[in-house]
Each structure stands twice: as C-alpha cells, then as structure tokens.
Structure 1
Amino acid sequence: MQYVTLNNGLEMPQLGFGVWQVPDEEAEPAVAKALETGYRSIDTAKVYENEHGVGRAIAKSGVAREDLFITTKVWNSDQGYDATLKAFDASLERLGLDYVDLYLIHWPTPEFDDYVDTYKAMEKLYHDGRVKAIGVCNFNTEHVQRLLDECDVVPVLNQVECHPYLQQNDLKAFCAKHNIFVEAWSPLMTGGEVLQDDVITKIAANHGKTPAQVIIRWHLQSNAIVIPKSVTPSRIEENFNVFDFELSADEMQRISSLDRNQRKGPEPSEMNKR
C-alpha cells in the first residue's frame, strides 16, 4: 500500500475502496473482501444508503480502527450548519464508529448557496476532533476558491469524476497549487468505455495486466488518490494488485493524450438535486 500525506499531516492510503451504487446488503461482504485483500481506505456516503453495511464489515474485520481510513459525506439535503452537524451524528451512528477520518461535502449545489455554512460546520467537527480531515466532492475551482476565501481550514482533497477520458487537468493544477489532493471517483469511467480503448489495451498487454489495472496505475502515478468500486471478489483483488509494475513516461503520456473532457456524471454547477 502507498500512502499520501494530506495538507494537515494526516496519512491516507492512495488506493481505496468505493461503495457507490452498492446496496447495503452487498456492502458488507464487498467491504469485508476489500479489507481481507489489503485495502485500508473505505469511501461511503449518506446517500449511498450503505453505511450500515460498511460499519458491519468494519466491526467484523478484526482490523484495528487506527489502521483504517473511513470517509463519508454530507448529502445535499443535509447542507447548512446545524443540519450538517445532525447528519454527521447520524452517519457516525450508522457506521458504528466514534470518529471518521474524512468528511466531505458531496456536491456544492450552488443554487442553494449553503456549502460555506456546511463547511464551517465541518470545521467545527474537525476542531472538536470528531473527524481527522475535511474536504469536498465535485467542486469546481470557483467553489473551492470561495472556501479558501471565506473559511479557515483548507480542504485536504477534492473528490471528482476523473478517468483517462476526463482528466480534469485545470482543476488538478488549481488544487495542487493549494496543496489539495484530487481523488478520482469513477476512475475506470462509468460504463467502462475507456477499458476498451486501444491505447489502454495495448499497454495492458505489454505489462501482462488488465486495462483496469493500467488505468488505476496511471491515476497513482499522476499523484491522484483513487477509489475503484467492485462487488466481484476477483475484481476487488485485481484492482488492488497494481503495486508490482510501473508505467513508463511514454505510456503515461499516451494515456494522457486520451483526454476528451467526456463527463459521465453531472456538471457540478448544475447538480442541485436534493
């Protein structure tokens, strides 16, 4: 496992396990398999409705709590100062934990204009020691800049859709300037279209690896944090088996040339679902 050091000094596994779109009853065996495989970072959210399953897997895993890195998120309908504090308490109870390592705002929902108050509530949780780090998801540069201007704690990371067809290079550069990591959700692209790309498949064949392993390795070597999701035991293992090879500078460049700005999820400024 490789770790990165966040801007508050906290160490976080660079490769984690995501459970988006995993039903609660499937989350428990999937997370159990991930922990058995060697993952130590688990990424969930209130809106995924699987925090109970994640919590059960953690409780039964036998892995020491201090060796785990658990992320969850405040949903759009729970934004605002007081509502965020209540939502955090509810997430903590569902997870069966005393604290979480990372708490994130799931979307900025700029139409409602309450993400600054939400973040200030998260700053309180951070200062009270109930979370070890705070950050954001799906924030464009203007949303992050507003937090930098109006709040005290710099987000440790910005979790966004990112894959070879949507590389987010401008956002990555902005975040890097402010010592904010980019964390890739949907790192293999929803629908898997990029897994069939000739560039990816040829590089995979050269290394005796799968296209998914090559893409995860590309994320890691690009200094991104990455959280692939699967409920298939063999793929959970496959996605973790990426530390025994390295992409060359030429291979990295060939993958970087695939960027199409092809987004599968919502554009953050337009996502106002509650």
Structure 2
Amino acid sequence: MMVEEKFTLANGVQIPKLGLGTWRIPDADTASVVRDAIRVGYRHIDTAQAYENEHGVGEGVRASGVSRDEIFITTKLAAECKTFAAAGDSIEWSLRALGMDHIDLMLIHSPQPWAEFREGKHFFEGNLEAWRALEEALATGKVRAIGVSNFERADIENLFDNGSVAPMVNQVLAHVGNTPFDLIDYSRSIGMLVEAYSPVAHGAALKDARLGAMAESYGVSIAQLCIRYCLQLGVLPLPKTANATHMRDNASVDFVISDADMSTLKRAESSTDYGEANAFPVFGKKRQVTDPEPGG
C-alpha cells in the first residue's frame, strides 16, 4: 500500500507519501478516526490548531497500540500567530493538546491571519517571527521538520532570504482542475516537498463525469484517480475521510495513469465549487493560545 512508501525531506527526515487529513472532523470523533486509519495502515496524520482536534489525534495515536515513533504527526501554527512569543506559546499548546513530546512536522498555517487571507498584505516580519520560533523548536527537538502552508512564492522567498533554516514543506490546495504548477515547480526547485490538501477537491471531484469515465477505464474510483494524479506529480496527497473503507481504498493506488491521461488531467478545468467547504471554517476566527481543555 502507498502508506508504506516515503519521501525524504531536505533535512533527512522521512515522511510517508500518503497522509490522512482531519479538517472538519470534530475532536470528539477524531480519536476513533485516527485509530481506524492506523489500523488500516496509515502512518501519517495531518491536523492543525485551527481544526481544534489535536487532542483527538493524540488520543487516537495512543489508542492504536502502535508506537509513537512509527507515526508521523503534522500540525500547524494558528494563522494569527505572527510574533515570536505567540508562536512559541502555540508550539507548546500543540504539544500539550496532542499529549506528545515532539511533533514530526509543524507548519505556519497561512502567511496571513485568516481574516486577512489573500487581501494583499504578506506579513513578512510576522512570518519571520513565527519562523524563528519554529527554528528554535527544531533546534531543541520539539519538532523534527518545519514548513509552511498556503504560502505564495514571495512569502517563501522571505523565509529563505532571512531565516536560518530553509522551509522543508509547502502544503497547498492542489487537485485536478486546480493545480498550482508554477508554485509546485518553484518549491521543488529549492528543495521543498509539496503536499496537497483536499486532493479530491473537497469532494467536488466525485461529481465530475469526465473524471468518472477516466477512473472507470482504470477500474478505480474518482478519489483513487485524484490521489494517484498527485502522487505522479511528486506531490504528497492528504485525503480526508472518516470512513475506514474509504481510507483503505484511498491507500490502494498502485496503478499508473498513462502519460496521455496525465496530460489531460493537467489541462482540466474546474469550477472549484466546493459546496459547504467554500465556507472555510477558520476564516475570520481569532485563535487564542490557551491551555487545552480535556477533550479538546
């Protein structure tokens, strides 16, 4: 299964090529979902402070019976953390919420606070402050690798030019019909691994008849086709599901999309109508860094 294969980050840390996304899974449900995923074979779980389910992720890992060292955990700094102190507190918050002594990969969730996402300001100084806190956590062993999410080229260049440690990962929205090829190529050219969140377009791809026809020709589901597309681009997909059967199917992607079909998929256009997912639930929320309460 694909969950057994790994990429190697710039600092030598290995990361499973397929992960489980946990966005919009309530904390109360997350422990059982994570436990199921680990039983299926997943060894890479992706969460974030903004998802408010880190506690459940930690509980699920402990309930799985699998050694912590065999599980790769990614989480993300709240987008509003743009000072060294706030980011440092935020890292400690995640460690306590997860109930772990280290995090495998920690990302800055967004270059802007969600209330100002993509409104023109880059927050270069604030991102450098947050990055400095991540660099310190890396040096002390609290995190094993550091990176960014939703960062554009200018935001990445700011960290490369002014930070002490180069970002190792850029996690972006990427799926058939909405693939940021220039950003992927740039990130890869400077040694970053690109991760794709929502590789099935928040479920919208499942309604695409053209993708359905192509998937049928390979004897796979649309979700499997979309996940395989990302893998053949050299991108790490993070499909989200709470269903154990779907988890197993999403990891069963050992087929190969032909060059001709990959070309077709790369040229595909999408309406990017994500339905309920259009209302990104962390936009506009001001995350307060406090001690996590039991249960989340």
Q: Which TM class, normalised by the smaller chain length?
A: over 0.9
Once the two structures are superposed, what CA deviation does each residue of 1:43-72 show, in whole Å capped at 9, x if it has no partner? 011111111111101111111122111001
Residue 197 of structure 2 is matched in structure 1 by 185
Q: Which amino acid aligns with 1:186?
A: S
1:155 to 154, 167, 172: 167
Residue 249 of structure 1 is matched in structure 2 by 259
1:46-125 paired onto structure 2 within 5 Å:
46-109=49-112, 110=121, 112-113=123-124, 114-125=126-137
Is 1:167 aligned with 2:152? Answer: no
Q: In 2, are the aligned partners of 1:70 and 1:101 still within 8 Å (CA)?
A: yes
Once the two structures are superposed, what CA deviation does each residue of 1:6-65 show, in whole Å capped at 9, x if it has no partner? 111111011000100110011111111110111100001111111111110111111112
Shift of 1:142: 0.5
Q: Which amino acid aligns with 2:132?
A: K
Is 1:221 aligned with 2:242? Answer: no
Q: Which amino acid aligns with 1:198?
A: A
Once the two structures are superposed, what CA deviation does each residue of 1:136-172 show, in whole Å capped at 9, x if it has no partner? 0000001001111110211111111111111000101
Give the unaligned 5+ runs of structure 2.
113-120, 287-296
Q: In 1, are the aligned partners of 2:74 and 2:104 still within 8 Å (CA)?
A: yes
Is 1:31 aligned with 2:34? Answer: yes
* Separation (CA, whole Å) in 2 of partners of 1:221 and 1:111: 31
3-state SS in 1 of match to 2:199 = coil
Q: Which amino acid aligns with 1:233?
A: A
**Relative to structure 1, is the Cα distance of residues 5 and 229 closer, same or farther in structure 2, using a 3 angstrom cutoff?**
same
Residue 118 of structure 2 is matched in structure 1 by none
Q: In 1, are the aligned partners of 2:31 and 2:59 still within 8 Å (CA)?
A: yes
Shift of 1:258: 0.5
Residue 194 of structure 1 is matched in structure 2 by 205
Query: Considering only aligned residues, what root-mean-square deviation do their CA atoms show, in Å?
Result: 1.8
* Separation (CA, whole Å) in 2 of partners of 1:178 and 1:261: 31
Once the two structures are superposed, what CA deviation does each residue of 1:173-193 show, in whole Å capped at 9, x if it has no partner? 110110111101111112x23
3-state SS in 2 of match to 1:159 = strand
Q: Which amino acid aligns with 2:155?
A: H
Q: In 1, are the aligned partners of 2:204 and 2:272 still within 8 Å (CA)?
A: no
* Separation (CA, whole Å) in 2 of partners of 1:151 and 1:217: 34
Is 1:203 aligned with 2:206? Answer: no
1:136-155 paired onto structure 2 within 5 Å:
136-155=148-167
Shift of 1:77: 2.7
3-state SS in 2 of match to 1:220 = helix
Please list every run of at least 4 consecutive aligned residues from structure 1 whose deviation after the TM superposition is greater than 6 angstroms: none
Once the two structures are superposed, what CA deviation does each residue of 1:184-210 show, in whole Å capped at 9, x if it has no partner? 1111112x2322333321221112110
3-state SS in 2 of match to 1:76 = coil
Q: Which amino acid aligns with 1:155?
A: P
**Relative to structure 1, is the Cα distance of residues 259 and 3 closer, same or farther in structure 2, using a 3 angstrom cutoff?**
farther
TM-score computed with the length of structure 1 as normaliser: 0.93
* Separation (CA, whole Å) in 2 of partners of 1:194 and 1:20: 17
* Separation (CA, whole Å) in 2 of partners of 1:180 and 1:16: 17
Instruction: Count matched residues.
Output: 268
Shift of 1:260: 4.8
**Relative to structure 1, is the Cα distance of residues 261 and 166 closer, same or farther in structure 2, using a 3 angstrom cutoff?**
farther
**Relative to structure 1, is the Cα distance of residues 50 and 37 closer, same or farther in structure 2, using a 3 angstrom cutoff?**
same
**Relative to structure 1, is the Cα distance of residues 273 and 221 closer, same or farther in structure 2, using a 3 angstrom cutoff?**
same
Q: Which amino acid aligns with 2:74?
A: T
